[in-house]
Amino acid sequence: MSAVDEPSVAGEFPDGAAAQVDVRRLRRQRRAELFAALRTSKTFLVGMLILIFWVVSALGWRWLVRSPQAVDTAATLASPSADHWFGTDNLGRDVFARVIAGAAPVLTVAPLATLLGLAGGTTLGLVTGYYRGWIDDIFSRIVDALLAFPLIILSVLVLASLGRSPRNVILVIGIIFTPLIARTVRSAVLVEREREYVAAARLRGERGPRIMVAEILPNITAPILVEATIRLGYAIFAAATLAFLGLGIQDPSPDWGLAIANGRAYLQIAWWMVLFPAAALATLVVGVNLVADGLRRAIEE
Amino acid sequence: MSVTERQQAVRIEGLTVAYRRRGQLLRVLDDVSFSIGAGEAYGLVGESGCGKTTVAMSLMRYLPDNAVVESGRVMFGDEDVLTASATTLSGWRGDRMAMVYQDPGTALNPSIKVGEQIAEVYRFHKGMNRSDALAAAVHMLETVQISAPDRVVRRYPHELSGGQQQRIMFAMALATDPDLLVLDEPTTGLDATVEAEVLDLVEQLRTQFDASILFVSHNLGIVSRMCERVGVLYAGRLIEEGPAIDLFREPRHPYTLALLRCMPRMGMRKDVDRLDPIPGSLPPIGVDIAGCVYADRCPIARDRCRAEPPPIEPIAPGHGARCFYHEEVPGIPVLTRPPDEAAAATADGVLLKVDDLVKAYGSAGNQVFAVAGVDIEVGRGEVLGLVGESGSGKTSLAKCIVGLLDPSGGAIEFDAADVTSHRRGREARRRLQMVFQNPDNALNPSHSVRTILRRSLQLLAGVRGKDRQDALMDDLARSVRLEPRHLDVRPSALSGGLKQRVAIARSFAGSPSLVLCDEPTSALDVSVQAAILNLLVDLQRREGVSYVFISHDLAVVRYVSDRIAVMYLGQIVDVGPADAVFEAPHHPYTEALLSAIPTLEPGGKARMKLHGTLPSPSDPPSGCRFHTRCPRFLGDVCVNEEPPWQSTTDGERYRCHIPPEELARLQAEAEPTAREPDPAP
Q: What is the DSSP letter of B175?
A: T
Q: Residue A281's pLDDT is what?
A: 94
- Whether the per-residue pLDDT at A9 is higher than 60: the answer is no
Amino acid at B207: T
Query: How confident is the model over B543-555, as pLDDT tens digits?
Result: 889 999 998 888 8
Q: What is the ipTM of this complex?
A: 0.80
- Whether the per-residue pLDDT at B114 is higher than 50: the answer is yes
Shortest alpha-carbon distance between residue B35 and chain A (Å): 28
Tell me the three state secondary structure of residue B386: strand
User: What is the arithmetic mean of pLDDT over A235-253?
Assistant: 87
Please report how many Cα atoms fall inside a 13 Å half-sphere around the Cα of residue A192, on the Cβ side: 30
Instruction: Decide if B284 and A3 are in contact by the 8 Å CB cutoff.
Output: yes
Q: Residue B543's pLDDT is what?
A: 87
User: Do B16 and B30 meet the contact criterion of CB atoms below 8 Å apart?
Assistant: yes
* Whether B438 contacts chain A with CB within 8 A: yes
Q: Residue A21's pLDDT is what?
A: 42
Closest CA to B374 of B518, B552, B585, B574: B574
- Who wins on pLDDT, A301 or A122? A122
Instruction: Decide if A9 and B481 are in contact by the 8 Å CB cutoff.
Output: yes
* Whether A203 contacts chain B with CB within 8 A: yes
* Whether B514 contacts chain A with CB within 8 A: no
**CA–CA distance, A279 with A119 (Å, rounded to integer):** 31
Q: What's the start-to-end Cα distance of chain B, in Å?
A: 16
User: Do B14 and B73 meet the contact criterion of CB atoms below 8 Å apart?
Assistant: yes
Instruction: Decide if A6 and B402 are in contact by the 8 Å CB cutoff.
Output: no
Shortest alpha-carbon distance between residue A96 and chain B (Å): 43
Cα-based angle B142, B144, B150 (whole degrees, multiple of 5): 35
Query: How confident is the model over B342-353, as pLDDT tens digits?
Result: 554 555 789 999
Nearest by CB to B402, from A1, A19, A203: name it. A203
Nearest by CB to B404, from A11, A20, A203: name it. A203
Cis peptide before A252 (omega within 30 of 0): yes
Q: Residue B679's pLDDT is what?
A: 35
Sheet holding B97-100, edge to edge: B97-100, B180-184, B212-217, B41-45, B229-234, B237-243, B319-321, B313-316
User: What is the arithmetic mean of pLDDT over B443-450?
Assistant: 92
Q: Please, which residues bridge with residue B26 across strands?
A: B19
Residues in chain B closer than 8 A to A200 (CB atoms)? 434, 436, 442-443, 503, 506
Confidence band (pLDDT; 50, 70, 90) for B677? very low
Residues in chain A closer than 8 A to B424 (CB atoms)? none
Q: Residue B438's pLDDT is what?
A: 87
User: What is the arithmetic mean of pLDDT over B556-582?
Assistant: 92
Instruction: Decide if B335 and A33 are in contact by the 8 Å CB cutoff.
Output: no
Rounded mean pLDDT of chain B?
86
Instruction: Decide if A10 and B336 are in contact by the 8 Å CB cutoff.
Output: yes
Cα-based angle B209, B213, B218 (whole degrees, multiple of 5): 140
**φ, ψ dihedrals at B42, nearest 5°:** -115, 125
Q: Residue B490's pLDDT is what?
A: 87
Q: What's the start-to-end Cα distance of chain A, in Å?
A: 18
A152-156, B121-125, B236-240: least confidently modelled range = A152-156
Residues in chain A closer than 8 A to B482 (CB atoms)? 7
Instruction: Decide if B335 and A13 are in contact by the 8 Å CB cutoff.
Output: no
**CA–CA distance, A137 with B90 (Å, rounded to integer):** 51
Shortest alpha-carbon distance between residue B641 and chain A (Å): 39
- Whether the per-residue pLDDT at A16 is higher than 70: the answer is no
Q: Residue A30's pLDDT is what?
A: 61
Show the beta-strand stretches assigned E in B524-562. 546-550
Q: Which of residues 41-100 of B touch A (CB under 8 A)?
A: 49
Instruction: Decide if B497 and A197 are in contact by the 8 Å CB cutoff.
Output: no
A1-10, A135-144, B414-423: least confidently modelled range = A1-10
Closest CA to B256 of B448, B428, B47: B47
Residue B425 burial (CB < 10 Å; 0-12/13-18/19+)? exposed
Return the residue of A nearest to B485 by Cα: A20
Residues in chain A closer than 8 A to B399 (CB atoms)? 199
Instruction: Decide if B280 and A14 are in contact by the 8 Å CB cutoff.
Output: yes
Residues in chain A closer than 8 A to B336 (CB atoms)? 9-10
- Within 10 angstroms of residue B338's Cβ, the number of other Cβ atoms is 10
**CA–CA distance, B573 with B643 (Å, rounded to integer):** 10
Cis peptide before B585 (omega within 30 of 0): yes
Confidence band (pLDDT; 50, 70, 90) for B631? confident
Cα-based angle B227, B233, B237 (whole degrees, multiple of 5): 140
Query: How confident is the model over B277-315, as pLDDT tens digits?
Result: 888 777 877 778 888 999 988 889 889 999 899 998 998
Among A275-289, B163-177, B636-650, top mean pLDDT goes to A275-289
- Who wins on pLDDT, A154 or A226? A226
Nearest by CB to B446, from A2, A202, A219: name it. A219
> Which of B50, B274, B281, B514 to substitute to test the interface with A, most A CBs within 10 Å?
B281
Nearest by CB to B444, from A14, A26, A197: name it. A197
- Whether the per-residue pLDDT at A1 is higher than 80: the answer is no
Shortest alpha-carbon distance between residue A50 and chain B (Å): 27
Q: Residue A52's pLDDT is what?
A: 95
Q: Residue A235's pLDDT is what?
A: 93
Q: Residue B450's pLDDT is what?
A: 92
Show the beta-strand stretches assigned E in B176-292. 180-184, 212-217, 229-234, 237-243
Residues in chain A closer than 8 A to B283 (CB atoms)? none
Bin B544: left if φ > 0, else alpha if -120 < ψ < 50, else beta. Answer: left
- Whether the per-residue pLDDT at B415 is higher than 70: the answer is yes
Length of chain B: 681
Q: Residue B336's pLDDT is what?
A: 64
A288-297, B336-345, B364-373, B502-511: least confidently modelled range = B336-345
How would DSSP label each residue in chain A? Answer: ---SPPPPTTSPPPP-HHHHHHHHHHHHHHHHHHHHHHHT-HHHHHHHHHHHHHHHHHHHHHHHS--TT---TTSTTPPS-SSSTT-B-TT--BHHHHHHHTHHHHHHHHHHHHHHHHHHHHHHHHHHHHH-HHHHHHHHHHHHHHHHS-HHHHHHHHHHHH---HHHHHHHHHHHHHHHHHHHHHHHHHHHHTSHHHHHHHHTT--HHHIIIIIIGGGGHHHHHHHHHHHHHHHHHHHHHHHHTTSSS-TTS--HHHHHHHHHTTTTT-THHHHHHHHHHHHHHHHHHHHHHHHHHHHH-
Pairing of strands B546-550, B79-80: unpaired
Q: In B49-74, which positions are buried (b, 16+ CB within 10 angstroms) versus exposed (e)? A: bbbbbbbbbbbbbebeeebebeebbb
* Whether B395 contacts chain A with CB within 8 A: no
Q: Which of residues 297-336 of B touch A (CB under 8 A)?
A: 335-336
Query: How confident is the model over A26-70, as pLDDT tens digits?
Result: 556 666 777 777 888 889 999 999 999 999 999 988 888 888 888
Instruction: Decide if A5 and B535 are in contact by the 8 Å CB cutoff.
Output: no
* Whether A215 contacts chain B with CB within 8 A: yes
* Whether A14 contacts chain B with CB within 8 A: yes
Among A122-131, B196-205, B257-266, B347-356, top mean pLDDT goes to A122-131
> Which of B481, B518, B528 to substitute to test the interface with A, most A CBs within 10 Å?
B481
Please state the separation of Cα B202 from the chain's center in Å.
18
Residues in chain A closer than 8 A to B498 (CB atoms)? 2, 4, 6
Residues in chain A closer than 8 A to B497 (CB atoms)? 2, 6
Return the residue of A nearest to B432 by Cα: A203
- Within 10 angstroms of residue A9's Cβ, the number of other Cβ atoms is 21
**CA–CA distance, B141 with A276 (Å, rounded to integer):** 69
What is the percent of chain B with per-residue pLDDT over 90, rounded to a whole number?
A: 33
Nearest by CB to A4, from B402, B459, B493: name it. B493
Residues in chain B closer than 8 A to A11 (CB atoms)? 481
Cα-based angle A294, A172, A127 (whole degrees, multiple of 5): 70
- Who wins on pLDDT, B489 or B504? B504
Residues in chain B closer than 8 A to A201 (CB atoms)? 444, 455
Find all residues with CB under 8 Å of A181, minimum gap 6, and list them. Answer: A117, A118, A120, A121, A122, A125, A224, A227, A228, A231
Cα-based angle A83, A86, A91 (whole degrees, multiple of 5): 85
* Whether B531 contacts chain A with CB within 8 A: yes
Confidence band (pLDDT; 50, 70, 90) for B523? confident
Instruction: Decide if A1 and B285 are in contact by the 8 Å CB cutoff.
Output: yes
**φ, ψ dihedrals at B129, nearest 5°:** -85, 175
Residues in chain A closer than 8 A to B279 (CB atoms)? 5-9, 14
Nearest by CB to B446, from A3, A200, A218: name it. A218
How many residue pairs bridge chain A and chain B with CB atoms within 8 Å of each other?
A: 133
* Whether B279 contacts chain A with CB within 8 A: yes
**CA–CA distance, B119 with B467 (Å, rounded to integer):** 69
Closest CA to B563 of B425, B418, B386: B386
Distances (CA, A) of A110 to A113, A222, A230, A285: 5, 21, 12, 11
Nearest by CB to A200, from B436, B497, B510: name it. B436
User: What is the arithmetic mean of pLDDT over B226-241?
Assistant: 92
